[in-house]
């Protein structure tokens, strides 16, 4: 599998590779934007990335709030070091500082304080992205100038801004694929179907990809099932349920006729779209005061993949008095298909253990971080050991070793101020929900699937919702189900750098807001729809303890 295999179903790779994109300005989001563009494969064939207005010298602030540039770049010409660091990421990217392209596909501006007027006078701009004191502004017109001095939110907001700008580039180039795309022999049209009880029933059957009509007949009656027909190219086709979203929602897919297996379905591309104006903030309330630095904090981060890479790195780049970070990952080695979105790893890391490389990279970003790396699966057994419900006998050396790892995680959790949840499966989210509810730790959960992403901010110490309140009872009733490919098995979920950067950045920003005394002002739910260029935060309703099984379980703890 090559670097771009996970984004095949999402973007037209040749359109990105041949695009000529001008990047104007040297605001704090510029490194995050360039990192996203390089990971996406922009300008890797006939296209070029041109840097405009990067002829000043790199300062300590440029280097401090990001993870593309390095400390020894301070004092060098900024444009030249940006070119060098992008080439370190991927030598295939054509990128130049200075000069102006004969033709350009798109111009993106991300100004530092005071640069907006000069950029506007220099030529037309398709999309502006600015990092403010507590918010990110994106749109076809320049927004208010950002703060002259960075604050505690600057790195996380820059990460969100860079991701949103890169997403605007994909949309502006007309490179978004609207489907269908073929994954593992199924047409993944991703049709969502709602019918009371259908998700619950599909899980109860416990069969791989059950036929829609049979399940529909059982939950809604034969008349409803008979009235629902699926056609593929005008011919009747048997729809199968390939994913359970919640109790009442499933995703259905249509199999290709046997005679056409192996053919490529030509993807539809959405037309080029103008930048959409939006303002995003981790806060639901206005005028929140934020400090310049993070107070001494202890954070546990579970998952060092797509989301953990961006959230962990943005957190590491945040000015802090003292940060203890415990990184937990269950994965093995860095693989080629990780490199299109997992910002902590490069080609040089292929084949190396992920947890170890993540710890080394995060330490390189901020040598003052106190890092612990734990390689373990966070499953129901680990939960029981962490909560003291079950004591494993440490006779078997493998079990004893796992027990030691879970003990290390337990110690980190018990002293943690907050937890970042960045796993790739629902079981881990469910276990983390149990642990944080019981231990009273605020936590931020993130999830991405293609261009779509969600962030839940949960604090057991107030009346807000937990993740099970959000995602529905099916998560709790069948916690072993996989997140993205629930019934069909381990089919790779499409994933891309823009959604990972945006959602990872949103996670870091909301976590920092929690850690800096602003929990009451934080928006609890954030929804990304990248293909539409939308990111919205919601204050959200409070929990209903009578409805959520996690809270019912909380009242009567049970052994597994």
Q: Which residues bind Zn ion (CB under 5 A)?
A: 466, 468-469, 548, 550-551
- In order of 532, 550, 553, the CA distances from 543 in angstroms are 29, 11, 15
* Residue 432 CB, nearest approach to Zn ion (Å): 13
What residues are paired with 51 via a beta bridge? 23, 97
CA angle in degrees (0–180, nearest 5) for 514-482-396: 90
Contact predicate 452/534, CB 8 Å: no
Is the Cβ of residue 264 or residue 558 nearer to Zn ion in the bound state? 558
* Residue 118 CB, nearest approach to Zn ion (Å): 51
* Residue 483 CB, nearest approach to Zn ion (Å): 18
Is the Cβ of residue 169 or residue 468 nearer to Zn ion in the bound state? 468
Q: For the purposes of burial, counting CB atoms within 10 Å of the CB of 191, is it exposed (0-12), middle (13-18) or buried (19 or more)?
A: middle
Is the Cβ of residue 397 or residue 440 nearer to Zn ion in the bound state? 440
289: Cβ–Cβ under 8 A, 6 or more apart, which residues?
Answer: 518
* Residue 466 CB, nearest approach to Zn ion (Å): 3
* Residue 470 CB, nearest approach to Zn ion (Å): 8
Is the Cβ of residue 24 or residue 550 nearer to Zn ion in the bound state? 550
* Residue 514 CB, nearest approach to Zn ion (Å): 18
The residue whose two tokens read 């807000």 is 464
Classify the C-alpha dihedral 369-293-314-432 as positive or negative: positive
Distance CA(237)–CA(218), nearest Å, equals 20
Q: What are phi and psi of 268, to 5 degrees?
A: -85, 135
Is the Cβ of residue 23 or residue 466 nearer to Zn ion in the bound state? 466
Q: What are phi and psi of 34, to 5 degrees?
A: -65, -40
Query: Residue 443: helix, strand or coil by DSSP?
Result: strand
* Residue 541 CB, nearest approach to Zn ion (Å): 12
Is the Cβ of residue 87 or residue 438 nearer to Zn ion in the bound state? 438
The residue whose two tokens read 């030509």 is 266
The residue whose two tokens read 């330490």 is 363
Is the Cβ of residue 97 or residue 458 nearer to Zn ion in the bound state? 458
Distance CA(353)–CA(355), nearest Å, equals 6
Distance CA(42)–CA(259), nearest Å, equals 36
* Residue 543 CB, nearest approach to Zn ion (Å): 5
Q: Which two tokens stand for residue 146?
A: 């950002």
Is the Cβ of residue 231 or residue 541 nearer to Zn ion in the bound state? 541
């Amino acid at each position: 599998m090559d670097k771009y295999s996970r984004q095949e179903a999402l973007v037209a790779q040749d359109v990105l590779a041949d695009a000529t994109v001008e990047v104007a300005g040297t605001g704090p989001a510029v490194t995050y934007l360039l990192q996203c563009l390089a990971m996406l494969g922009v300008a890797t064939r006939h296209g070029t990335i041109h840097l405009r207005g990067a002829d000043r010298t790199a300062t300590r602030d440029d280097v401090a709030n990001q993870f593309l540039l390095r400390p020894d770049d301070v004092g060098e010409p900024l444009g030249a070091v940006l070119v060098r660091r992008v080439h370190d990421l991927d030598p295939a990217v054509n990128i130049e500082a200075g000069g102006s392209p004969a033709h350009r596909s798109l111009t993106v501006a991300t100004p530092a304080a005071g640069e907006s007027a000069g950029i506007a006078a220099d030529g037309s701009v398709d999309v502006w992205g600015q990092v403010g004191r507590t918010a990110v502004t994106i749109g076809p017109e320049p927004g208010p100038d950002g703060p002259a001095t960075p604050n505690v939110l600057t790195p996380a907001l820059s990460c969100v801004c860079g991701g949103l700008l890169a997403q605007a580039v994909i949309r502006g180039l007309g490179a978004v694929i609207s489907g269908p795309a073929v994954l593992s022999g199924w047409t993944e049209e991703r049709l969502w179907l709602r019918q009371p009880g259908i998700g619950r029933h599909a899980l109860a059957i416990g069969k791989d990809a059950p036929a829609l009509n049979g399940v529909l007949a059982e939950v809604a009656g034969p008349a409803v099932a008979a009235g629902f027909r699926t056609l593929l190219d005008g011919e009747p086709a048997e729809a199968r349920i390939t994913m359970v979203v919640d109790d009442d929602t499933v995703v259905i897919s249509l199999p290709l006729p046997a005679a056409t297996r192996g053919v490529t379905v030509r993807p539809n591309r959405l037309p080029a779209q103008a930048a959409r104006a939006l303002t995003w903030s981790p806060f639901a309330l206005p005028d929140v005061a934020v400090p310049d630095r993070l107070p001494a904090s202890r954070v546990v981060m579970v998952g060092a993949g797509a989301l953990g890479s961006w959230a962990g790195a943005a957190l590491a780049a945040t000015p802090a008095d003292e940060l203890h970070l415990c990184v937990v990952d269950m994965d093995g080695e860095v693989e080629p298909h990780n490199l299109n979105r997992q910002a902590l790893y490069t080609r040089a890391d292929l084949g190396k253990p992920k947890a170890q490389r993540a710890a080394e990279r995060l330490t390189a970003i901020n040598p003052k971080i106190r890092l612990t790396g734990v390689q373990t699966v966070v499953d129901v057994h680990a939960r029981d050991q962490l909560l003291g419900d079950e004591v494993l006998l440490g006779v078997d050396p493998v079990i004893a070793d796992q027990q030691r790892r879970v003990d290390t995680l337990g110690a980190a959790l018990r002293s943690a101020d907050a937890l970042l949840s960045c796993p790739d499966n629902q079981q881990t989210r469910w276990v983390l929900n149990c642990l944080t509810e019981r231990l009273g730790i605020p936590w931020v959960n993130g999830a991405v699937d293609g261009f779509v992403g969600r962030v839940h901010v949960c604090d057991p110490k107030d009346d807000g919702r937990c993740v099970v309140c959000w995602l529905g009872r099916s998560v709790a009733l069948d916690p072993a189900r996989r997140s993205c490919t629930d019934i069909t098995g381990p089919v790779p979920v499409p994933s891309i750098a823009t959604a990972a950067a945006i959602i990872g950045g949103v996670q870091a920003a909301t976590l920092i807001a929690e850690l800096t005394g602003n929990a009451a002002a934080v928006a609890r739910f954030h929804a990304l729809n990248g293909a539409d260029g939308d990111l919205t935060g919601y204050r959200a309703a409070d929990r209903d303890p009578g409805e959520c099984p996690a809270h019912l379980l909380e009242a009567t703890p049970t052994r597994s």
